[in-house]
Amino acid sequence: MAATTALAHEFWLEAPRFRLQPGQTVNVHTLVGENFRGEPWGTKASKILRFVRYGPTPADSTDLTPAPSFAPTDTFRTALAFARPGTHLVLLRSTNSFIELAAAQFTAYLREEGLDYALKLRQENGQEATAGRETYRRCAKTLVQVGEASAAPAATDSACLRVYGLPLELVPEQNPYRLGTDRLLTVRILRAGRPVPGALVQVWQRQPGGLPTTHFTTRANQNGRVLLRLSGPGPYLLATVHMTDAPAPLRDRAEWQSTWASLTFAGPPAAARRPTTKR
């Protein structure tokens, strides 16, 4: 649909490899696209409110958030050193951007993303024939495993399980790098730290060997949780969006405020093939 090309692109963080060796430095890519196929996002420093790597110990972090003095055309650095073994988390929070969509496009986009609140309110207020003016922001997280998860103590999982106070975030309740094939992963959807019951979560899984990426949607339960089965090595992209009335300072430009959240990580390693024996 035209709405998807105008706005409803997912945004995520992705390292060249989700599993690294201690001491490696890589650029964490900021990507935007559809069906877990992305192109580089226009990484302007002025669009970044927060860009931080959190390591497996509380004192281990790298803050690359650009200073407010950066010019609008300046890009920001994404090269991060992953020194310590354990599970690292990298997060990004963007500033608000604005968009206006024609009425039919806006309605199609709301339906596709499961934004029932906005759809219902537009119907009740007789706004179905009016353009949709929206401000949107992005909150992305990625998990990178350094060394073997099984060799690291459970205390090194703290970064991946922590709540970071983002406007909207996906928080795993188990470390996916410790789960085997077909094990279950529970993920909470939190808005300003509070559960979002019924949130629509989209899940993509890249398949090995060039097979098509799989995709499905699920809804959070009354406690704001979804349950996922990790059926292969992935990697995985989880994404959700929440929409509310625009805050008062922005209402001269938009009626709606949307917040997009994503989480990426790799699944269990592919099982090694047993050697065959000639008889």
Q: Would you say residue 234 lies in a domain?
A: no
Instruction: Classify residue 71: in a domain, yes or no.
Output: yes
Q: 147 lies in a domain?
A: yes
Q: Work out how many domains the chain is built from and give that number.
A: 1
Q: Are 139 and 166 in contact (CB under 8 A)?
A: yes
pLDDT value at residue 42: 76
Rounded to an integer, the average pLDDT of 181-197 is: 96
Contact (CB, 8 A) for 188 and 168? no
**Structure confidence at residue 72 (pLDDT):** 61
- pLDDT tier, 80 (very low <50, low <70, confident <90, very high otherwise): very high
The whole-number pLDDT of residue 137 equals 95
Q: Is residue 270 part of a domain?
A: no
Q: How far apart are CA 238 and CA 273, in angstroms?
A: 29
| Domain span at 38 | 2-164+244-265
pLDDT at 58: 86
Model confidence band, residue 4 (pLDDT cutoffs 50, 70, 90): very low
Give the per-residue pLDDT at 69: 66
pLDDT, tens only, 56-66: 998 999 999 98
Q: Exposure pattern of 34-68 as b/e (b: 16+ CB <10 Å)?
A: eebebeebebbbebbbbbbbbbbeeebebebebee
Instruction: Please say if the pLDDT value at position 234 is more than 70.
Output: yes
Q: Give the model's pLDDT for residue 201.
A: 96
Q: Is residue 215 part of a domain?
A: no
pLDDT at 115 over 60: yes
Residue 175 tokens, joined: 């470390």
Examine the pLDDT at 74 and tell me if it is beyond 90.
no
The residue ranking higher by pLDDT, 124 or 170, is: 170
Written in H, E and C, the secondary structure of the chain is: CHHHHHCCCEEEEECCCCEECCCEEEECEEEEEECCEEEECCCEHHHEEEEEEECCCCCCEEECCCCCCCCCCCECCCEEEECCCEEEEEEEEECCEEEEECHHHHHHHHHHCCCHHHHHHHHHCCCCCCCEEEEEEEEEEEEEEECCHHHCCHHHHHHHHCCCCCCEEEEECCCHHHCCCCEEEEEEEEECCEECCCCEEEEEECCHHHCCCEEEEEECCCCCEEEEEECCCCCEEEEEEEEEECCHHHCCCCCEEEEEEEEEECCCCCCCCCCCCCC
Is pLDDT of 29 > 80? yes
pLDDT score of 112 = 86
Please provide the average confidence, as pLDDT, over all residues in the chain.
89
Q: Considering Cα of 238, then 140, then 73, then 256, what sign does the dihedral take? A: positive
Contact in structure between 133 and 6 (CB atoms under 8 Å):
no
Residue 110 in any domain: the answer is: yes
Are 199 and 224 a contacting pair, CB within 8 Å? yes
Quick one: which of 107, 120, 95, 112 has its CA closest to 244? 120
Least confident segment among 46-50, 149-153, 234-238, 267-271: 267-271
Q: Is 156 within the bounds of a domain?
A: yes
Give CA 49 to chain center in angstroms: 16
Amino acid at 48: I
Q: What is the mean pLDDT of residues 139-145?
A: 98
In a domain? residue 260: yes
Q: Answer yes or no: is pLDDT of 277 > 50.
A: no
- Residue 272: the pLDDT is 42
Residues 82-98: pLDDT tens digits? 999 999 999 999 999 99
6: confidence class by pLDDT, cuts 50, 70, 90: very low
